[in-house]
Chain A
Amino acid sequence: MDTKWKKYRNNTALKIIAFLLACTFAFLTFYSAFYVVEFQYKNANGMSDFFQGTKMGILPNRRILLFNFQAMLKSLKR
């Protein structure tokens, strides 16, 4: 095996490229996994942009009650 891989094992540039590739993909793995987890967490807890933007109520059976209306009324009340 040593002989078979010798030319690759002595190629520093190849190793640097592979090392940087590994770091990049570690970054991408975190980025994408965290994106998914964070979105799902926010979604489950009524914190997604949709929920927050609409200032809605949420029902346990996952049906969402839109209730942005209150913000408008509040400003008119003043």
Chain B
Amino acid sequence: MIKEYKSDENVKSGQAFKAREAELNKEKEETIKDRINNKKKEVILNAAVSDDDGNIKYSFSDGETIKNYTTKAYDTGVDEDEIRTIGEKQYYRGFPLDAVVVNEKAIRTEVEDEYRDNINYERLEYNEKYDKNKERIDKLKNLKFAVVNRSTGEVFTNMGDNITAQTDLLSLVKADGWSIAVQNGVFSSGKDVNRDNYVYLYNGEEHQLVSFLNKVFANDGYDAFFELNGDVFVTGNGTKMLQKGDEYHDLQQKYLKQLANVEKMKICAVVSLLVLIITVVLLCILAGKVDEQGNTKRAPIDRIYNDIHFVVSLGLVIGFLALTIVFCETLLHTPAPYSDLKYNAMFIGGGAMVAVAAALFIEWLMSVFRHVRCKTYWGHTLINMLFIKSGKKLKEICKSTWNKLKGLFAFQETKNLKTKMLQIISGYAGANLILAIIFAMLVKNHSNGFAFFVALIMIGVNLYFVNLAKSTIKALDDMMEVLIEAENGRFDFNLDVYLMPRYLQDFAMHIVNLREGIKIAVDEAVKGERMKTELITNVSHDLKTPLTSIISYVDLLKRCELQDEAAKSYVEILEEKSERLKKLIEDLLEASKISSGNVKLELTKVNLNEFTIQLAGENEGELTNLGIELRVSNPKSPPIVKADSQKAYRAIENLFSNVKKYAMPGTRVYVDVLEDEKYGIISIKNISKNELDISSEQLIQRFVRGDTARATEGNGLGLSIAENLINLQNGEFKIDIDGDLFKVTIKLPIDK
């Protein structure tokens, strides 16, 4: 090969092609021989005829039967379709080939014509390929090489004219970490390179580079040296650019372009996946049309039972995904592996199948969402239709039959839980004991089949009792929980009595009945209270109208000139009592309103200092007249509270009214204004003129008075109204009694 490359004129003159020409000529002779033999075989086949006895004779076109040639009987018969050589002669079907004459000259001429064309075509192709490869090799910039013919010393190289057979190429190779050589059939490499690491890859298959070099060079008598451009690498962490100008550089550019595309495709994959997820979520939200009443409408496809739909969709989705894998795998392993058409088919075809799988999945998911919105998912399954509904009916039939049987035998169940539990535990232990004995006996008698059956029954019995224990514990737990709730005043609990074991159902039913009883009692109490309030309101209203008339007429009577002093005093008494009655009715109405919650609050900022000063000012005169001294103490920084000033005024006014009625003359009343973190505080302290043998709780009740002799005016509603009004404003109201010391503390929330 070196010689040929080094002599362009040899190529041009055809000398370089001589060897191939000789090969082709030899092939031509073989072809001529084959064609002649084939023609002879054809003649023999056409001449063969069978006589009446089934014997084969050979008759040529003139009708003469060949007798002069004796057919050769093979050991294996005469019908074989191949030419046999026996001795120096060739036979076909036992007939000697030399007995057949064909036009050999015509055959030779035909084959020679064919081969002449072939040889000319190959010569042309050889020359073209030679020129092309020579051009490629001349262009090489990233690979230097030298190939030496060991017998002639000729050197084929692109490293310059100074490289000769005498150059120490091996030293050059070893000096460079990335050079390799095969000299006298021995492989060498540069430093740091293990020869086993040189792997030649072709179509994804590995070949040892050593064996390749031996095959191409060493076995033909050549030494080969390669010095590779230090930059001819693509590294893991980056790419070193090759020198421009040769095909390695072009390929590297193409590769780098693909590498850049991969980065874009990674981003595209993530973005596409995100959009896909968002779209699927959106479709789930949009699943199912809504009618006028706001109910979700189902689609025609939703008539398919949900479990069938699930299985079919799952099958189709898996099927399409599997088809995608098979399709891509098949294309990957088909010949012509790197055509663009194949990859386009793989990407687009596979993508289309994945899209179909996605469409099927989304369709199923939307159907699920429609059913879930209609609350028909579980109900619209074949399993539910076939087993659960039918099962429920069967259960109902069994239950009614059992009840009838129970009625027949008048079986009286014991209501004692202890007895029932003992019965269950004994039943459990007894059943296991009996089954264990049977099992042991069967195993001893080697009746393993029956033993297995009994073991299954044992497992079933134990599972039944485990389930019973589980449901018992759950039922007891539920009942305890419910009782704790009832203790805290919550009676709206639910107890699934019919899901409990039968022997606990009676107890659970008692709890449910207890709940019902308490609920009825509470409802009735509330109802009674409401009626009482309504009665007070109505009666007060009815009393108020004639009372107003009485007060008016008393006023008119007072203006008349009454001569009789006794009459005057009667009118005064009438006026006083009617005013008291009016006050009582007004208090009753107020108390009724508060207890029915029919009070509107207008919460504003209230300065407690100013508030108490105003109240003290209004009451001080009256208190002084009664011989009671008023002492008010206010902090420097006034507490600002959030309160309804009118309601708060009414509450404290009630307290001052109490002081006037019940405080001992000659004592002091202390009104203190204080403040803590949460509340503004007003406390009023006075000494009672009557002995207070009543608790603070009792005092607050309606119509209860500290003056048990009822010698003073009052209706027993003042403190109750004051407490309710303060509580309504999120405040606190407290009464302390210490001997004759009577103290009321009012707390109103600080306005923050």
Known: A25-B279, A57-B199. A65 touches B328 (CB 8 A): no
Q: With A and B bound together, what is the CA distance between A35 and B348 in angstroms?
A: 11
Report yes or no: A9 in contact with B289, Cβ–Cβ below 8 A.
yes
Q: Which of A48, A57, A77 contacts B200 (CB 8 A)?
A: A57
Known: A66-B232, A76-B130. A23 touches B359 (CB 8 A): yes
Known: A19-B362, A51-B201, A65-B228. A27 touches B266 (CB 8 A): no
Report yes or no: B129 in contact with A75, Cβ–Cβ below 8 A.
yes
Q: With A and B bound together, what is the CA distance between A8 and B287 in angstroms?
A: 10
Report yes or no: A22 in contact with B276, Cβ–Cβ below 8 A.
yes
B741 to chain A, nearest CB (A): 64
The A20-78 residues at the B interface (CB cut-off 8 A) are: 21-36, 38-40, 45-70, 72-78
Quick one: CB contact mask for B347-383 with A, threshold 8 Å, 1 for yes? 1101110111111001000000000010000000000
Q: Which of B197, B228, B285 contacts A60 (CB 8 A)?
A: B197
B32 within 8 A of A: no
Instruction: From B252-260, B391-399, B506-514, B625-633, give the one contacting chain A.
Output: B252-260
A69 to chain B, nearest CB (A): 6
A18 to chain B, nearest CB (A): 5
Q: With A and B bound together, what is the CA distance between A73 and B266 in angstroms?
A: 40
Q: Which of A39, A50, A66, A73 contacts B228 (CB 8 A)?
A: A66
Report yes or no: B255 in contact with A48, Cβ–Cβ below 8 A.
yes
Closest-by-CB residue of B relative to A24 is B355
Question: Which chain B residues border A6 with CB–CB below 8 Å?
Answer: 290, 294
Report yes or no: B279 in contact with A18, Cβ–Cβ below 8 A.
yes
Report yes or no: A72 in contact with B290, Cβ–Cβ below 8 A.
no
Q: With A and B bound together, what is the CA distance between A48 and B130 in angstroms?
A: 28
B664 to chain A, nearest CB (A): 70
Report yes or no: B262 in contact with A36, Cβ–Cβ below 8 A.
yes
Report yes or no: B255 in contact with A73, Cβ–Cβ below 8 A.
no
Report yes or no: B255 in contact with A59, Cβ–Cβ below 8 A.
no
Report yes or no: B358 in contact with A15, Cβ–Cβ below 8 A.
no
Q: With A and B bound together, what is the CA distance between A34 and B327 in angstroms?
A: 13
B486 within 8 A of A: no
Quick one: CB contact mask for B330-350 with A, threshold 8 Å, 1 for yes? 000000011000000011101
Interface centre among A29, A33, A70 (most CB of B within 10 A): A29
Report yes or no: A47 in contact with B204, Cβ–Cβ below 8 A.
yes
Report yes or no: B276 in contact with A45, Cβ–Cβ below 8 A.
no
Report yes or no: B286 in contact with A5, Cβ–Cβ below 8 A.
yes
Report yes or no: A21 in contact with B248, Cβ–Cβ below 8 A.
no
Known: A23-B355, A36-B265, A68-B248. A15 touches B286 (CB 8 A): yes
Interface centre among A27, A46, A68, A74 (most CB of B within 10 A): A27
Instruction: From B135-143, B159-167, B653-661, give the one contacting chain A.
Output: B135-143
Q: With A and B bound together, what is the CA distance between A75 and B209 in angstroms?
A: 18
Known: A6-B294, A76-B1. A65 touches B351 (CB 8 A): no
Known: A2-B294, A64-B233. A30 touches B354 (CB 8 A): yes
Q: With A and B bound together, what is the CA distance between A2 and B280 in angstroms?
A: 18
Report yes or no: A53 in contact with B251, Cβ–Cβ below 8 A.
yes
B407 to chain A, nearest CB (A): 50
B267 to chain A, nearest CB (A): 8
Interface centre among B134, B262, B328 (most CB of A within 10 A): B262
Closest-by-CB residue of A relative to B207 is A57
Q: With A and B bound together, what is the CA distance between A21 and B350 in angstroms?
A: 18
Question: Which chain A residues border B288 with CB–CB below 8 Å?
Answer: 9
Q: With A and B bound together, what is the CA distance between A6 and B373 in angstroms?
A: 13
Question: Which chain B residues border A22 with CB–CB below 8 Å?
Answer: 276, 279-280, 283, 358-359, 362
B74 within 8 A of A: no
Q: Which of A14, A19, A32, A69 contacts B268 (CB 8 A)?
A: A32
Question: Which chain B residues border A68 with CB–CB below 8 Å?
Answer: 143, 247-248
Q: Which of B255, B258, B354 contacts A27 (CB 8 A)?
A: B354
Q: With A and B bound together, what is the CA distance between A4 and B288 in angstroms?
A: 14
Chain A interfacial residues counted at CB < 8 A = 64
Question: Which chain A residues border B248 with CB–CB below 8 Å?
Answer: 54, 66, 68
**A-B Cβ contacts below 8 A, count:** 206
Question: Which chain A residues border B742 with CB–CB below 8 Å?
Answer: none
Closest-by-CB residue of B relative to A60 is B197
Closest-by-CB residue of B relative to A63 is B233
Report yes or no: A19 in contact with B269, Cβ–Cβ below 8 A.
no
Report yes or no: B209 in contact with A57, Cβ–Cβ below 8 A.
yes
Known: A15-B283, A45-B204, A66-B228. A35 touches B262 (CB 8 A): yes
Question: Which chain A residues border B356 with CB–CB below 8 Å?
Answer: 23
B275 within 8 A of A: yes
A33 to chain B, nearest CB (A): 4
Closest-by-CB residue of B relative to A10 is B289
Question: Which chain B residues border A32 with CB–CB below 8 Å?
Answer: 265-266, 268-269, 272
Report yes or no: B200 in contact with A67, Cβ–Cβ below 8 A.
yes
Quick one: CB contact mask for B417-443 with A, threshold 8 Å, 1 for yes? 000000000000000000000000000
Report yes or no: B328 in contact with A34, Cβ–Cβ below 8 A.
yes
Known: A33-B269, A72-B136. A49 touches B255 (CB 8 A): yes
Question: Which chain B residues border A52 with CB–CB below 8 Å?
Answer: 203, 337-338
B133 within 8 A of A: yes
Closest-by-CB residue of A relative to B266 is A36
Question: Which chain B residues border A59 with CB–CB below 8 Å?
Answer: 193, 197-199
Q: With A and B bound together, what is the CA distance between A67 and B220 in angstroms?
A: 19
Report yes or no: B255 in contact with A50, Cβ–Cβ below 8 A.
yes
Question: Which chain A residues border B670 with CB–CB below 8 Å?
Answer: none
Report yes or no: A57 in contact with B251, Cβ–Cβ below 8 A.
no
A75 to chain B, nearest CB (A): 5
Known: A56-B201, A57-B198, A58-B201. A28 touches B359 (CB 8 A): no
Question: Which chain B residues border A67 with CB–CB below 8 Å?
Answer: 200, 209
Question: Which chain A residues border B357 with CB–CB below 8 Å?
Answer: 26
Question: Which chain B residues border A35 with CB–CB below 8 Å?
Answer: 261-262, 265, 347
Question: Which chain A residues border B289 with CB–CB below 8 Å?
Answer: 9-10
23 pairs across A/B with beta carbons < 8 Å?
A2-B296, A19-B283, A22-B362, A23-B356, A23-B358, A23-B362, A25-B275, A27-B355, A27-B358, A28-B268, A28-B272, A31-B350, A33-B265, A40-B262, A46-B204, A47-B201, A52-B203, A63-B178, A65-B209, A65-B232, A67-B209, A70-B212, A73-B147
Given contacts A34-B346, A48-B255, A62-B235, 17 further A-B contacts (CB under 8 A): A19-B359, A22-B279, A22-B358, A23-B359, A25-B273, A45-B204, A47-B201, A47-B204, A49-B251, A49-B255, A51-B201, A58-B201, A66-B142, A73-B1, A73-B216, A76-B134, A78-B20
A residues lining the B interface (CB < 8 Å): 2-3, 5-6, 8-11, 14-15, 18-19, 21-36, 38-40, 45-70, 72-78
Shortest 9 CB-CB contacts between residues of A and residues of B:
A26-B358, A50-B255, A32-B269, A46-B201, A30-B354, A32-B268, A28-B272, A29-B272, A25-B276
